Amino acid sequence: MGSIPETILVSSDKTIPLLGFGTAEYPFGASSETMKDSILHAIKLGYRHFDTAALYQSEPLLGEAISDAIQLGLVKSRDELFITSKLWCSDAHHDCVLPALHKTLKNLKLDYLDLYLVHWPVSVKPGEYELPVKQKDLVPFDLKSVWEAMEECQKLGLTKSIGVSNFSIKKLENLLATAKIPPAVNQVEMNPLWQQKKLRDFCEKKGIHITVYSPLGAKGTLWGTNLVLDCKVLKEIADAKGKTIAQVCLRWAHEQEASVLVKSFNEERMKENLDIFEWKLSQDDLQKINQIPQRKGFPGLEFISDEGPYKSLEELWDEEIDLSLEYFT
């Protein structure tokens, strides 16, 4: 198995592996020794990018796995790994950002992160790490002051790069208008059923790298469905290529020049997910994928409230979100 290719993050001039391993396990906080063993196995297979978040409550286990991997000689040092974590909404307040990052680093037993992301363009009252959030706790999100605190984290060397997650074009424009350090990454939901073409084009123009979550439709999560893995178009392409539907989805995202996060604790699938670099989708395949009707998997209804800053999905995403299943029934 060859090593995972990398790309340069324009904002920070650091590199990011184009395939990463996610650690969100539902329900949050139920992370187990299985996860730690899976992370160690992933390192043995060649994964180097690991994605966590304060919300997932998987930081301590990832930290243990990193320590074990170094002790076992699977990697020579922590510098061989790329570690991403995220600022939760309850810490998305200027004065909470630095303490939140210190807490994350303590959980991981690390001196620095490679990438620290604002998890959502949302703030809730400080305290709880939970999803869904309590609607009564939703408060206005002060993007400018939160980002200033993120920039300070990078200047202090506590993270090599900073970025965002779940940000629309409009919210990125607002951020870029005042940012001294532009975001290196926007981590978003993306797969053949939610292709994000406008957002991808915008990010490419602005030098913001896209990292993909839910590349297979997030089956087994709070919001996930089988729609991606049950898609007939993808099945036909996979069968013709002698690949799995998952491999076709991952390869498609890779061909959009995004980095992709996968999450499987199944050893065979962990290996399969690495097998996306030595083959290509044809123009015909790509054309078929482009014609798949689009439907967002995770709308973020939890963040919508008549009393909160976002009163509709259109305000959260700055575009119309169709939640109907009519294309797929």
Annotated binding site for substrate: 119
Of the residues 56, 112, 116, 310, which is catalytic?
56
- CB atoms under 10 Å from CB of 100, counted, come to 23
From the CB of residue 27, how many other CB atoms can be counted at a distance below 10 Å? 9
Distance CA 232, CA 219 (A): 17
Burial class (CB in 10 A: 0-12, 13-18, 19+), 38: buried
Residue numbering of the annotated binding site: 119
Omega within 30 of 0 (cis) for the link into 132: yes
User: What does the block give as tokens for 299?
Assistant: 């709308």
Helix extents (H) in the chain: 33-45, 59-71, 94-108, 143-155, 169-178, 197-206, 232-241, 245-255, 267-274, 283-290, 313-317
Of the CA atoms within 13 Å of residue 67, those in its CB half-sphere come to 12
d(CA 20, CA 259): 7
* Spatial CA neighbour of 215 closest among 232, 196, 199, 201: 196
Query: What three-state secondary structure class fits 287?
Result: helix
Residue among 194, 108, 203, 221 nearest 164 (CA): 203
What count of other Cβ atoms lies within 10 Å of the Cβ of residue 194? Answer: 18
Catalytic (active site) residue 56: yes
Per the DSSP assignment, residues forming a β-bridge with 86 are: 117
Residues labelled as active-site residues: 56
